Chains A and B, each alone.
Chain A
């Protein structure tokens, strides 16, 4: 689907939190996962800036591991603060999506 970028902006961080929350992973794998989900526009640079933000906000634990090729890769896992933030994201998401659904169904 095209033209998702604007709509995804606020939610992508939550998606990344969820992906990291299920297993420790790295930027390229996160991007691939999002692409497989159908978010084809998402590039690694986008994910990277989100990861930087998560790291700065102290939500992830970062481990550098040597990779077969090139410089060591950074692996990300959620810490306690990250897990709390993930829960908050789903609460917010639930709120927004239920309101929007209600709007479309014409209820109040």
Chain B
């Protein structure tokens, strides 16, 4: 990864394209799940979303493996796709918006309290 790619994330576009090519080969219900997974994982993304790439790759790998087994996507992911995504992302140490908001709140509160001389 060179400097230009680091800053612009241009290499990620290529990776995205590769993901979509793999996803296109999946059965319909799996493709729908893939769309859901992407939507649920995006809030865990950094600015360029680079931290999501290995997570998306492993999620897609699971879909490919289980689709080949002939399982239904419901057998694989159940009802809680969002929970699945949160477990994936948290494990990878991806920082969610919620964490960032919490941090911001803590920081602001600390500053205000500091100003009051508390």
Contact = CB atoms under 8 A, between A and B. Distances in A.
Interface of A: 27-28, 41, 43-46, 48-49, 52-53, 56, 67, 69-71, 73
A31 to B, nearest CB: 8
Interface string B68-95: 1111001111100000100110010000
By secondary structure, the B interface counts as: helix
Contacts of A69: 68-70
Given A44-B76, A46-B78, A52-B58, A70 B87 contact: no
Contact of A45 (B61, B70, B84): B84
> Which of the four size classes fits the interface of chain B?
20 to 34
26 contacts: A28-B69, A28-B71, A41-B78, A43-B74, A43-B75, A44-B66, A44-B75, A44-B76, A45-B62, A45-B76, A45-B78, A45-B84, A46-B78, A46-B84, A49-B88, A49-B91, A52-B58, A52-B88, A52-B91, A53-B91, A56-B91, A67-B68, A70-B67, A70-B68, A71-B61, A71-B65
Contacts of A52: 58, 88, 91
Nearest to B73: A45
A36 to B, nearest CB: 14
A67 B65 CA distance: 9
A79 to B, nearest CB: 19
A2 B66 CA distance: 25
B39 to A, nearest CB: 16
Contacts of B71: 28, 44
Nearest to A69: B68
